[in-house]
Amino acid sequence: KAGVTQTPRYLIKTRGQQVTLSCSPISGHRSVSWYQQTPGQGLQFLFEYFSETQRNKGNFPGRFSGRQFSNSRSEMNVSTLELGDSALYLCASSLAGSFTDTQYFGPGTRLTVL
Amino acid sequence: GQQVMQIPQYQHVQEGEDFTTYCNSSTTLSNIQWYKQRPGGHPVFLIQLVKSGEVKKQKRLTFQFGEAKKNSSLHITATQTTDVGTYFCAGQGRRTYKYIFGTGTRLKVLA
């Protein structure tokens, strides 16, 4: 079974730009969650999508948004990038839901904002 | 706000020694999950605990969920170099419903 895939793996953007990251979950998984990992703040939950609906949301500003398609693939968008958005963005998929089920993480997208 | 702290932040052990990391939440949790992240890698799910006082074992790893469901521990017996990485706990607040990761404990095993 193929694992969780994320594209692109690396990205360099400048302040003010916007970016879209993609995540393809394990086949059959309906839940996709997104996380931000930085040395200073650690791992932080962004949001979870289940069957195309946002089910949970962390404490991030509205510049961070996401969506999920009918095939469970998910995208995350960050608008008006700031230097502090530089991070490793991880997505994870699970069968029933992130908080109560085994999550499988992808390799992440390393975003650098200059 | 809800916080989940882990101690110690770093731990260096000789191969064969035991290791324990502690996870402490400021609020009661519905459950606790543990993850391991190797250097340069992504988190890998280890286990989930749900019941108060629950203890689960996976080979050399023992996980415990506190009676008050506010703390948890991971104990590794006779560490090996393959145990190197950062161990994270994560839990959902029982009242807040927020899902928070712990600060992590970075383990280094010296051969």
pLDDT digits (tens, 9 = 90+) for A2-47: 899 999 999 999 999 999 999 999 999 999 999 999 998 899 999 9
In whole angstroms, give the CA distance from residue B56 to residue B49.
8
**A6 to chain B: closest CA residue:** B42
Which chain A residues contact residue B101 at CB under 8 A? 35, 42-45
Residue B41 is given by DSSP the state S
pLDDT of amino acid A1: 67
Closest CA to A74 of A9, A29, A12: A29
Which chain B residues contact residue A104 at CB under 8 A? 45
**A101 to chain B: closest CA residue:** B48
Mean pLDDT over A60-75 rounds to 97
Average pLDDT, chain B: 95
Residues B19 and B13 sit within 8 Å (Cβ to Cβ) = yes
Which chain B residues contact residue A105 at CB under 8 A? 42-45
Order of strands across the sheet that contains B19-25: B4-7, B19-25, B71-76, B61-65, B55-58
Residue A64 is given by DSSP the state E
Nearest to B99 among A45, A102, A104 (CB): A45
Mean pLDDT over B39-66 rounds to 96
pLDDT band at A112 (very low <50, low <70, confident <90, very high): very high
Whether B42 and A43 lie within 8 Å, measured CB to CB: no
pLDDT band at B2 (very low <50, low <70, confident <90, very high): confident
pLDDT of amino acid A103: 92
pLDDT at A50 over 80: yes
User: What amino acid is encoded at A59 in this protein?
Assistant: N
B96 to chain A, any CB pair closer than 8 A? The answer is no
Chain B window 31-70: which residues touch A at a Cβ cutoff of 8 Å?
Answer: 31, 33, 41-45, 48
Helices (runs of H) and strands (runs of E) counted in chain A: 0, 11
User: What amino acid is encoded at B50 in this protein?
Assistant: V
Closest CA to A10 of A87, A62, A72: A87
Angstrom CA distances, A91 to A107, B21, B59, stand at 8, 25, 28
Nearest to A100 among B31, B43, B104 (CB): B31
Which chain B residues contact residue A56 at CB under 8 A? 97, 99
Residues A49 and A71 sit within 8 Å (Cβ to Cβ) = no
Mean pLDDT over A50-79 rounds to 95
pLDDT band at A100 (very low <50, low <70, confident <90, very high): confident
pLDDT of amino acid A96: 82
Percent of chain B with pLDDT over 90: 89
Characterize A91-106 residue by residue with b for buried, 16 or more Cβ atoms within 10 angstroms of its Cβ, and e for exposed: bbbbeeebbebebbbb
> Which residues contact residue A54 at a Cβ distance below 8 angstroms, ignoring those fewer than 6 apart?
A47, A48, A66
pLDDT digit string, tens, across residues B84-111? 999 999 999 888 888 899 999 999 999 9
Residue with tokens 């499988």: A104
pLDDT of amino acid A99: 81
Residue from B10, B23, B36, B42 to probe the interface with A (highest A Cβ count within 10 Å): B42
Whether B33 and A103 lie within 8 Å, measured CB to CB: yes
pLDDT at B57 over 70: yes
pLDDT of amino acid A97: 80
Residue B77 is given by DSSP the state S
